Structure 1
Amino acid sequence: MIATTTTFASSPLFLIAAAVVLHNSTPLLSTTAAALSVDYYSTRCPSAETTVKIAVRHALTADPTLAAALLRLHFHDCFIQGCDASVLIDSTEENTAEKESPLNKSLRGYELVDAVKLVLEEACPGLVSCADILAMAARDAVFFAGGPGYEIAKGRKDGRRSRIEDAVKLPQPGFNVSDLLTLFGRHGFSTRDLVALAGGHTLGVARCSSFKNRLTHFDAAHQVDPSMNSHFAGTLTQICRLGDDTPVPFGYSPVTFDNDYFILLQMGKGLLFSDQELLSGSQTTTGEIVNAYAANEAMFFVDFQQAMVKMGLLDVKGDDEGEVRVNCRRVN
């Protein structure tokens, strides 16, 4: 259920999360990332955090599906050029931007970031980066969807590069577990981080085009992916006759953050091949973690928030590498 009656700052989850300390020993903390701080805007722009929280809460009240959209937007941003809001930049006549990649075409939430940026530019001109707005919005979206509350460091700068070809750095729906471990490991994530971040798929939907290859002529020996529940495969086949763009929820509820994603993997009902591979693939370790999260939602929540804090520090830009954009859709 979307939280609408309790303010984020007064909730028990927030008070607990506020006590979490960011340890500089993590391998993801570069010198630039170490310069970030939880209270970065406390004196620079005191209204920043509240402005984002109120905007996200109101947006999710009107459209609860935006929780998944904001989380995905932040993830796709961080995995391409680091958490620098490059995914928000529009294409120009001279350059085709990241958001035009087929992997990014279904991204949503740009308008909410634009609206927040407009308010904050009025209140604190040139101080709050688009990258920080996006990171805060994803965090708040998770919380208001029923997930864990957690704090993040702020002070990121916005990048100046956004090119369609860079989107190849994103994980693909057809990746096997070895591909995923290699990609996430390259960014400094552990196996546990990988599985926890994959749990973000408890929110949102997948389009039939992302998994239809699992339903027919899967390989030389199988018509349907053998790791998929056969009854589930039949249901998906019927649904996807409506077209490749037909949405199917990852979990029982696409707007509630919980551990249903992992329970469904145990039942052979993961939508994407890369999802089901976490349990059915060659790595027993990922399967053990899936089973642990399916049995213990609190464990998943703790690991997810820690992995999200890590992800938010990926290749952050400093003053010499980035800027604070006046408009999130274009460089200054």
Structure 2
Amino acid sequence: MKTMKELKSIKIVPYTIMNAALNAVWGFIFAIILLIFGGAFASLLSGTELAPLSGVILGISVAGLIVFPVGSFLLSIMPSFLQALLYNLLVPKLGGIQIELEEMTEVTRAEVVPFALILAGVTAVFQLIMQLVIAPLQAVLIELIGGIGTLALAATNATAGQLPAMGGAGALGAIVNIILSPLITFIFVFIGAAIAALLYNFLAPKLGGMKVELAQMTDNFFGVESINPVAIGLITGAIAAVLGLILGIIFLILFAALGSIEAGILILLTYVIGGFILVFIAYALTALIYNVLSPKIGSFKIQLE
């Protein structure tokens, strides 16, 4: 039986902890890859004049085993917390994500406009918050650079020219960033999310949608106990492949017009096949990590009505 559900809210703390933990594991995976390549590169340098650098490279690679996981965990806490908080605050105003569930286990479709609207809203407000913090710092930095430049020119008896105006330009740029950046973010995220939802709805009946195991709690809250790695990898990889096909065709036409159709075909195949493989691995592996962590640190808690 298929039922339409709306994601009304997300429990903030479990979402934040799980997201940070997932990023920490990915940071550790990246550190291992860096260590492998760093060790291989260091071994190549060991018999050359650059041998002293091999120890430095190896040391940095080993340090990454701690720095990347810890850094990824800490840097993920604030964005994850804000994302869940903003979602909960905006749902009463914009509406939540609406999904069709079959037997409460498989997401068979997502309503396009609600999905795109809430994601764009959350991202735009998050961008606004970031700009309120970053833009003034940018303005101060530009003004500082302008002041240093003015002093340097004065010391050489040169003409300052337009350098004193840099402070005003920095302040104006900060204001423009605060206003335009969230607006542009909203537009692009809305379009991207809408396209992704449309492709999901088109592909899910053919390939199967995302499959989850939900545990009933109180007040219509459900714990996302596990996520099927193959199912989520397949549907997201297929979406990436279709998007890669569209981009690849555009490049194929451009390269064909330039008389290099072979390069266009290569780019097309790379976007389609490479996009599918990379996205499949990324999402399937993330689901596997989630399933391992969920019993230990707690799963996502979502309210569906």
Structure with more helix by fraction: 2
TM-score (ref. length: structure 2): 0.28
Question: Greater relative contact order: 1 or 2 (C-alpha under 8 angstroms, separation 6 or more)?
Answer: 1
The structure whose Rg is larger is 2
